[in-house]
Structure 1
């Protein structure tokens, strides 16, 4: 069996080779955010192993923290890459808090643990990042299925599935390393056999190879997702545009089990706001209202901008009280925003229609829209429930 030093040197060389291949064959051609993140993973993985090779008793104080922080950062890059596939930005704090925690834990443990300082915390951080990456890939697969495969080709779906399995397995492996380190210690035969240097090198090699050979296909997925977002989302608010809202709502209603509620919301006195403060301020109000909806609605609710200052929501419940509670959550979230002059957001009027058996989306939208206009005529800043399905009304 190869010794620890030889394995780390081999892993560093392989990482560097894959980095060069990926950089010239994929990154320079595509320059996508996804490929950028995976290039970052290869760089930080190679750096972590190179620093590990250079560790001696004389330089433990800076090489061990640097090695652990670099390893954690490589896992953070995997998480950032999957967010890129969803066309989502990755917050700076999200990629730095893990490496910072790994480095801090290493510094605390250095006097007593030496070479193994910070091992368990670093493994936990890496496991969490890889788990986040795996969840992101599975979400992408679900979206691929929900859209009838519009996001990618069958080859891309295969690449997503393979990378999902590899990243999930790596998350589990680092969780196992942390558990065995704590329960058995780094010098035990159990740790060395199932989570030692040889096992770690093999796991990383497999994932790095998978990453390299799926990078090109998944870079194209990112481009397709970006194009899909442009075609289906409102450019100002980021919510679904009317066409995509209706398509997704119809698909959801066709396969729903149980009731559903349609809500139409319209900002009050929006024309007056535009005329008196300008369209830029009106855009701020629309964006803030959309953000309030995202904060208040559940992950299975569907929200979209129907046009102008009018918004639509589909809730997966036919319970009027639950739907009204969701509207109240949106109204409360609106109070957390402020306009540029420090004042509150414009209020909104809401129309709510509980769907009846066999009813289509268009009819339910018409009922919710009529209820919304009754709320306008009733004084605005209120919720009106359509009386067709339920007689409830809330001022």
Structure 2
């Protein structure tokens, strides 16, 4: 097996390499908070590796305690970075508490002769920071999965694998450090079990793997974060937040089946509302209507804005169409003073694999025209429009 000094040199070189590559790539291009925290952690891990190389030299008395504190501070930065994924802010002074305690204990121990000076405080600090980090990562992943529970998988989420990899390797390292701490306190650093299972050589190898996995995963998360807003702009209507026409038609092809129905909705008297109360009132009506539609449909249904005051919906259960339109009309009217809000007309067309979405949309428009000419504020099916 390679000696500890060689492994620590290799670890330092790996950490420095991934730091440079990560900083000039994802960190600078995305400028995300977690990328900056991870860059800081990498730099601190490099510094700690250099300080530990001073063991056995006259400067060990300062280098060894400093290496302990810097390593714990690096793990604290990993924790702070994981918190930013959940939009949590970590106070800077809080990051210094653990490293400060570790530094003090290490200096008061025997830094002149003992390369494991302050070892118990160092291992407890590392275990705590890594455990907090993996806890934040798993909590973030659970929140993402929970927020998408029951929703149609319209979009792929490429950061899922990266987040799972980060959480898994962080957990492995945290559990390893917990075992390392228990073994250190039970038998000491010179016991063969500790040396062979939890010694510096094994720890350095495992930490190197963690650096590579987390850095790669962080790169994926950083690029995903940078492109998510562009993806959102490309698929969502900027005013209402529902699907834009292009994305609605693209996703509609996936839901084209016998039991589904396509609905076209139009705000009755929308032009008069705009002319009488102004465009701000018109925008408010569009936003409110989009919200009502989004809350009235099921988790596997679609809501999109085709343009102007025309919206489209796809219900995977087409038999519910009349009930859903009645609910939407009622809820939308409840949000306006009596008699002041525009009414809604709907055209409903059953979907069929033999009929294209474009032709189904035409059929729904025909039904909508029939609803308008019949007095508005109603829903008409295509088969009733002939």
- TM-score using structure 1 length: 0.58
Deviation at 1:316, TM superposition (A): 2.2
Distance 1:240 1:123, change over 3 A: closer
Distance 1:277 1:175, change over 3 A: farther
The alignment status of 1:237 with 2:253, answered yes or no, reads no
Take 2:368 and 2:87, find their aligned partners in 1: how far apart are those partners? 43
Take 1:95 and 1:368, find their aligned partners in 2: how far apart are those partners? 43
Aligned to 1:247: 250
Residue pair 2:266, 2:346 contacting (<8 A) in 1 also: yes
- Where does structure 2 lack aligned partners over 5 or more consecutive residues? 50-62, 102-120, 184-192
Take 1:16 and 1:350, find their aligned partners in 2: how far apart are those partners? 62
The alignment status of 1:222 with 2:218, answered yes or no, reads no
Distance 1:67 1:284, change over 3 A: farther
Residue pair 2:349, 2:364 contacting (<8 A) in 1 also: yes
Give the 5 Å matches for 1:315-354.
Answer: 315-318=315-318, 320-321=319-320, 323-324=321-322, 326-327=324-325, 330=328, 334=332, 346-354=342-350
Deviation at 1:220, TM superposition (A): 12
Distance 1:247 1:25, change over 3 A: closer
Render the CA deviation track for 1:5-45: whole Å, top value 9, x for unaligned: x97x98788556544444445665xx4x4x54563242353
Aligned to 1:286: 286
Q: Tell me how large the CA RMSD over aligned residues is.
A: 5.5
Take 2:242 and 2:18, find their aligned partners in 1: how far apart are those partners? 39
Render the CA deviation track for 1:292-340: whole Å, top value 9, x for unaligned: 434444454332212210101122223x13x45554665677589x68x
Residue pair 1:72, 1:125 contacting (<8 A) in 2 also: yes
Residue pair 2:18, 2:215 contacting (<8 A) in 1 also: yes
SS at match of 1:202: helix
Take 2:354 and 2:369, find their aligned partners in 1: how far apart are those partners? 25
SS at match of 1:95: coil
Question: In terms of mean alpha carbon deviation, does 304-313 or 268-277 score higher?
Answer: 268-277
Distance 1:203 1:51, change over 3 A: same
Aligned to 1:127: 138
Deviation at 1:381, TM superposition (A): 4.6
Take 2:12 and 2:298, find their aligned partners in 1: how far apart are those partners? 44
Take 1:25 and 1:305, find their aligned partners in 2: how far apart are those partners? 37
Aligned to 1:355: 351
Aligned to 1:312: 312
- Where does structure 1 lack aligned partners over 5 or more consecutive residues? 80-93, 145-159, 391-395
SS at match of 2:136: helix
SS at match of 1:96: coil
Give the 5 Å matches for 1:30-109.
Answer: 31=29, 33=30, 36=32, 39-46=35-42, 70-76=77-83, 79=85, 94-96=86-88
Take 2:209 and 2:340, find their aligned partners in 1: how far apart are those partners? 53
Residue 164 of structure 2: which of 168, 175, 184 is its match?
Answer: 168
Distance 1:55 1:373, change over 3 A: farther
Take 1:51 and 1:130, find their aligned partners in 2: how far apart are those partners? 31
Take 2:177 and 2:374, find their aligned partners in 1: how far apart are those partners? 66
Larger CA Rg, structure 1 vs 2: 2
